[in-house]
Homo-oligomer: A and B are copies of this chain.
Amino acid sequence: MKVEIINIGDELLIGQVVNTNASWMAAELTKSGMQVVFISSIADDEDAIHSELDAASKRADIILLSGGLGPTKDDITKKTLADYFESDFVFHEPTYEQVKKIFAARKFKVSEINRQQAMIPEKCIPLLNVNGTAPGMWFEKEGKIFVSMPGVPFEMKSMMTGEVIPRLVKHFKLRAIVQKTVMTTGLPESFLAEKIKDWEENLPAHLHLAYLPQPGIVRLRLSAKGEDQKALTNEIEHQVKKLHALIPDSIFGYDEVSLEQVVGELLVKSGKSVSTAESCTGGYVAHLLTSIPGSSRYFKGSVVSYANEVKTQWLSVDEETLNEKGAVSREVVETMAATVREKMHTDYSVAISGIAGPDGGTPEKPVGTVWIALADESGVYARRYHFGEHRGRNIRRSALAALDMLRLKLLK
């Protein structure tokens, strides 16, 4: 089944909103065996919506729209769809009940604007919006399915998972595409490509490899299309095993797992705990670790020592060492790691100190120079890294390198 995703909203065309809906929808549809053939972003404009509905129904069997359903004046999707499908409006009592329920939970009163959200086109099947007040709308026309969803991500997501995908799977006979994504860190894309060149060249023709690089991470996606799903799955597993033998340390997981999740699972499994002491990453490692539900089982806390006086007072860094070696030095990160580990009573700790930029670089220690230390019961060791010139990416790559240092330690 071919799917087209249409995202409606002027805010997309002027770039004020990043279209995270499209990627999330595409991933979910792909997992369910549908093939997304086209994604578009178009204006909050009646003509644009009509002409894209026409074009999409030539390319795809299923047309999913998101956006433009809010209670405010610039959202015109509902009216436009009613016109397109030549439908009158009716008042839908269950939708109004849902609007009232949502507002009661938030302790707000229902306004007239919100009451109008219960007016829906007669020709659609309304879809429950468990997280919001605008219902979804399911239309069928000439064998094609059209579904309109809200643009607010968490409203759209619960509607996709709870209503749209189950209905589509039921309505069509769907076959899954087999794919596996190998998550790597520590090697740049071109290095990785050289290391696995022979393996890549010997892949069977019906297996497809894609490189998906991000700062600090390269994802390798293997996908297969064919008739026998079980045979394809086995074949992909076989190839991933061969790949793993080539780059065992670089692979930290599979299928969109995050490094912080992998580290969290290893800590839970080993019953160990961790703390962090952060300078240039400013709490970002702690944030990544605590973004995982249940992280209180292994993460105790962090000292973000941005100012040097916090390094000396809270983390026992010597003032003399700071003056002689500088805050970005082996000695300083080693002391930071050892102190926070000891004082927070954790099994492990990581410490990071570096020059994130844009200022603060010197010829000896240019922007992007970062020291990372790891402490455990056997002692402390540190390593120096050279990242790039961009602050945000330096913070991200430093944090990933610190987590990866911990991961490799936990595996040993």
Interface residue ranges, A against B (CB under 8 Å) = 10-20, 22-30, 35-44, 48, 70-74, 106-108, 111, 113-114, 152, 154, 179, 181, 188-191, 193-194, 200, 208-213, 219, 221, 223, 256, 276, 278, 281-287, 289-291, 293-296, 299-307, 309-310, 313-314, 343-345, 357-359, 386, 390-393, 395
Contact = CB atoms under 8 A, between A and B. Distances in A.
A359 B23 contact: no
A281 B303 CA distance: 14
Contacts of A193: 71-72, 113
B11 A27 contact: no
Contacts of A307: 296, 299-301, 344
A108 B191 contact: yes
A216 to B, nearest CB: 13
Given A71-B193, A106-B188, A302-B304, A42 B38 contact: yes
B15 A26 contact: yes
B345 A309 contact: yes
Contact of A284 (B11, B287, B303, B314): B287
A359 B343 CA distance: 28
Say what secondary structure dominates the interface of chain A: mixed
A300 B306 contact: yes
Most buried by B among A15, A22, A27: A15
A23 B17 contact: yes
Given A113-B194, A213-B152, A359-B294, A41 B15 contact: no
A35 B23 CA distance: 24
B306 A210 contact: no
A365 to B, nearest CB: 16
A276 to B, nearest CB: 8
Given A16-B27, A111-B194, A154-B390, A296 B306 contact: yes
Contacts of A12: 22-23, 26, 39
Contacts of A29: 15
A16 to B, nearest CB: 6
Given A284-B283, A300-B307, A18 B13 contact: no
A302 to B, nearest CB: 4
Contacts of A294: 359
Contact of A221 (B11, B28, B256): B11
B13 A37 contact: yes
13 contacts: A10-B208, A13-B35, A13-B37, A14-B221, A14-B223, A16-B181, A16-B212, A17-B23, A19-B19, A282-B287, A283-B283, A290-B306, A303-B314
Nearest to A117: B190
A214 B191 CA distance: 39
A305 B283 CA distance: 12
A392 B14 contact: no
B291 A395 contact: yes
A283 to B, nearest CB: 3
Contacts of A189: 70-72
Given A111-B194, A393-B154, A18 B15 contact: no
Nearest to A346: B307
Nearest to A43: B37
A130 to B, nearest CB: 11
Most buried by B among A212, A306, A314: A306
